[in-house]
Structure 1
Amino acid sequence: MSPVNSLLLSSAFLAALAKAQSTFPATPLAEKHYKYPDEIPYKVDTDEGLIRGTQFGYNLCNSTTEGQDALCQTSFLNSLDDFCLWAPSEPNSMIADTEGEEVAWCTKPGRGTRLIPEGALTGVQFMRTSAYVQVIGFIDQTKINIADGDYGGELDPHGADLRGNPMGGLVYSTAFSSSGDEYTQMIEWHNFMGGNAFCFKVCDPSNPHAADYCQHIYDRIGCAYNAPNNAQDKVFESCEGDLQDFPGVYTGEDGQVTTYTQPPESLGAITTMPYQPKVPASSNCQTFSSAELYSALSSVSADGANSHSGSATSSGAESSKTSGASGSATRGAATSGGSAASGTAEGAQATNSNAAMGARVSAEGVAWTGVFWAGLAAVAGAVGVMA
C-alpha cells in the first residue's frame, strides 16, 4: 500500500473513531422542549455514536408501559401526594453506576411509570414557594432498587455531557399552572437520592432565577445545601415556604455575600464548609397520613407484585388534591446547625433533617458519598457523582 493510501486510511479511521466517540449531543437535553402529553416522543435522546451510548428507557409512557418493569424516563412533581423519584431499574444498584439510566418511580398510577412500593416512603414534606416546589423525604431505598448503604448522588437535566442524568429524562409539573391541571415542562431541576432520603426540586421556568435555585454544580454537598429543609421522618406534610438562598450563595457574619466554589474530587474529601445553610421559614403546613396520600400504592410490593387494575393513557392521570388535613403549623427559619443530632452506625436521629437525613455517625465520624447531607466537620470521605 502506498504511503498516500495508508495516510488516507489512517485519516478515515481516526475520523470514524472521533465520530463514534463524540461526547456532546447536537442539542442539550435542557434545550429540548415538549408539551405534555401530545408532543412527547418515544425517546428524547436520539443521538448516535456518543460515548455514553443510547438512552436507556423511553419517554412515551402509557398503559402499555405501566408496571414495575417500566423503563419510563418521564417524571412528575405536582404535590405531596403526586410525585416521582429517579431510581435504578434493577435491584441493589448504586446511583453512581446507574445515574444515566434511572427510571421514574411514582406515587400515582396512570402515567406509564413504576410505582413506589407501599411502605417505602416513611416521611415526606412538600414545599411550595413562589419560585420552585420541592419534595423532601425519608425512604427505604432498597424498595426502589437503590443498594442498602448507598449514599447516592445528584440527578439533573445537564450532566457533564449535557445529556442529563438520567439521559433523556423529562420532568413535568402542574404546580405553576393557574388552573392547577396544566402540565409545564421543568427545564431546571435537581434530585438527590441516597442515604434512605431524597430531595427533588423543580423550578418555575418563568422565573428568571430558575437556574440559580435549581443549581446543578453542587453535587457533592447534597440536600442540606441544595434544598435546606425541616422535613421529619414519620411526618407527611404540605407547606408554603419562603425562598431559600441560591445554593452555594451565603452571607457571612460580616454581611458579605459570597459564592462557594465546590472543590474538584481530585483534591479529596470535603471535610469542612465555610457556611451553614439557612432553612427558610415555612407556614400553613397541613399534615396527612400516608394511607390517605398513597392509597394507590397499597397493592404494590417491593418484589414487583402489583394488583392495580386501573388503566392509563398517554394523557396522564388526574392529580387528586391533598385534603383532610389534620392540622397546620407555622415554623421559623432554623439553620442546619440548629439542632444537635446524635446517632450510631445505624443512623442519626434528630428532628432537623439537615442533621438527620442520611447521616451515619460512628466514632470515626460521618461516612459520606455523593449525597453528603450534613455534619461536614466530621466527614471521613466523600465521593461525588457527575452533575
Structure 2
Amino acid sequence: MFSLLALTAGALAGSVAAQSSSSAAAAVATSKAATATTAAANADSTILVDKTFTWGDLPYKVDTDPTGRGPQSGYNICNSTTVGPDSQCQTAFINSPSDFCLWGPADPNGEIGDIEASSVAYCTTPDHGTRVMPANTITALQFLTAPAYIQVTGLINQANIDEDPNDSGGELDPHGADGRGNPLGALVFTSAFPQSNGNLTDYLQVIEWHSFMGSGIFCFKACNPNVAGSKAYCDNLFDLLGCEYNAPAAYAPGVFESCLSDNQDPPGTYTGSDGVVSTFTQPPDGTPITSMPYQPKVPATSSCTTLTSASLFTAAASASVSGSTAATATGAAASSAATAKTSTGTGTTAKSTSTSTSTSSTSAAGSQFEVAKLGGVAIIAIGALVGAIMVV
C-alpha cells in the first residue's frame, strides 16, 4: 500500500513539476516575445526621441526606414564581436571620467557637417563594442555632475578619431531636421544618474543629449530624463555656437578633473546687465554670426577631484597596443549580433567611477529561478497530498 502511494505521489509530483516548468518557460518566452515586439515597433518609428529601449533588449538597428536619409548605416547591438577600428556601432555611453564615448567619422579625415548621419561611437575603453580612442586622444578633460545633467568636456586630438584636424566641427544630437537624429538611429546610455546605481543592469537610456566636436574641442552632455525640465539644457537650437555657449566649462589645457556643478543657464538664455533675462535667436542657416549679445556664464563647481590622463585611460592605451589583434565588426559579426539580441551588452562593463564593476546578464538566471520556485511549490503540494493520503 505504501509503495503504491509513493509511486502514485512520485508520478503526480513529476507531472505537476513538468507542468510548472512548462508554464514558467512559456511565461518567460511570452515576456521575451513581448519585449522583442516592443523593440521592433520602436525601430519602425522614424522619430528618434520617441524610441525608448531597455538595456539588454535593443534592436539590431534603431532606424530601419529606407526612405529619406535611411536606413541607419551602423547598428546598435555592440559587444566583443564588434569592437575595433572598423566598428560601426552607433550606441554610445557617458558614465564617468574614464568611461565615455564621443561621436566621430567612420572614415578618415571626415568633417562632421558631411558625415553626421553616419558617425560612429569612439569610446575610452574597449568594453562597449565600439571603436576605441587611441592613447593621447584626450588632452584635457572636465567631467561635471549637475542636478539636471552630466557633461564631459575638454580638448582633443580629433585626427585620432578620424576627424579632419582642420574641421571646425558641428553638432550631433537625437533630433536633426527630420527628427531621426545625428547620427541616424544613435542611442546613448548611462550608469551615472542616481537611479542607475552604477550597475550594468541599470543602464538608463538618455533621451535628450547633445554633442559638439571641432577645432580641437569637444563637449557631450546627457540630460537626466527623470528630472523635470532637464531637456532645456540639451536643446539643439544653437548648432552654430559650439561648446562655449552650449556647454560652458573650463576647457583648461592639460587639466583633468571631475566636479560637482550647478546647472548652467539653458543654452541661448542669458541675463543682461540690467537684470533682464533674454533668449538669443540663432540666425537662419547661411547667415554668419558676427557678434554675440552675451558671454556664456560658466556654472560654479565644487568637490573637484584632480585626475591624470595616465590613470583615466589605461584601457585605451592597452587597446591601442593590442589593436592589431582586436576583433572588428565584419559582415559576419554584424549578422551574428543581429541574431543574438538576448546577448546585447555581452562583454560590457559599467563604470560609475574609475574602478570598473562587471556583472553578467541576469535574464537566464531569472528564468531558472522562476522554474525552480514553481517546482518547489509543486513538491510542497505533493508532500501535503501524500500526508493526507497516509492519514486516511
Counterpart of 1:335?
A: none
Residue 301 of structure 1: how far off its partner (Å): 4.1
Are 1:277 and 2:296 matched, yes or no?
yes
Encode CA deviations 1:112-134: one digit per residue, 9 max, x unaligned: 11100111111111000110000
Q: Equivalences for 1:167-182 in 2 at 5 Å?
A: 167-178=184-195, 179-181=197-199, 182=202
Encode CA deviations 1:193-216: one digit per residue, 9 max, x unaligned: 111110000000011212201010
Aligned 8 A contact 1:157 1:169 in 2: yes
C-alpha separation between the residues in 1 aligned to 2:243 and 2:255?
18
| Of 9, 31, 41, the match for 2:59 | 41
Matched letter for residue 104 of structure 1: A
Residue 180 of structure 1: how far off its partner (Å): 2.3
C-alpha separation between the residues in 2 aligned to 1:320 and 1:251?
35
C-alpha separation between the residues in 2 aligned to 1:68 and 1:86?
14
Matched letter for residue 57 of structure 2: E
* Structure of greater relative contact order (alpha carbons < 8 Å, 6+ residues apart): 2
Aligned 8 A contact 1:133 1:202 in 2: yes
Are 1:91 and 2:108 matched, yes or no?
yes
Are 1:321 and 2:353 matched, yes or no?
yes
Counterpart of 2:248?
A: 228
Question: Percent identity between the aligned chains?
Answer: 51
Task: For structure 2, list consecutive stretches of 5 or more residues without a partner in the other structure.
Answer: 1-43, 328-342, 356-392
Aligned 8 A contact 2:213 2:219 in 1: yes
Aligned 8 A contact 1:172 1:186 in 2: yes
Counterpart of 1:218?
A: 238
Encode CA deviations 1:264-299: one digit per residue, 9 max, x unaligned: 123x21010111110011011111111111101113
Counterpart of 1:295?
A: 314
Query: Which has the larger helix fraction?
Result: 2
Task: For structure 1, list consecutive stretches of 5 or more residues without a partner in the other structure.
Answer: 1-24, 324-387
Give the number of aligned pairs.
Answer: 293
Residue 259 of structure 1: how far off its partner (Å): 1.0
Residue 53 of structure 1: how far off its partner (Å): 3.0
Q: Equivalences for 1:1-387 in 2 at 5 Å?
A: 26-36=45-55, 38-48=56-66, 50-178=67-195, 179-181=197-199, 182-266=202-286, 268-301=287-320, 305-307=323-325, 314-315=345-346, 316-319=348-351, 321-322=353-354
Is the partner of 1:286 in helix, strand or coil? strand
C-alpha separation between the residues in 2 aligned to 1:284 and 1:308?
38
RMSD over equivalenced CA pairs, Å: 1.8
Encode CA deviations 1:57-88: one digit per residue, 9 max, x unaligned: 00011111111110000000011011000001
Aligned 8 A contact 1:110 1:313 in 2: no
Counterpart of 2:32?
A: none
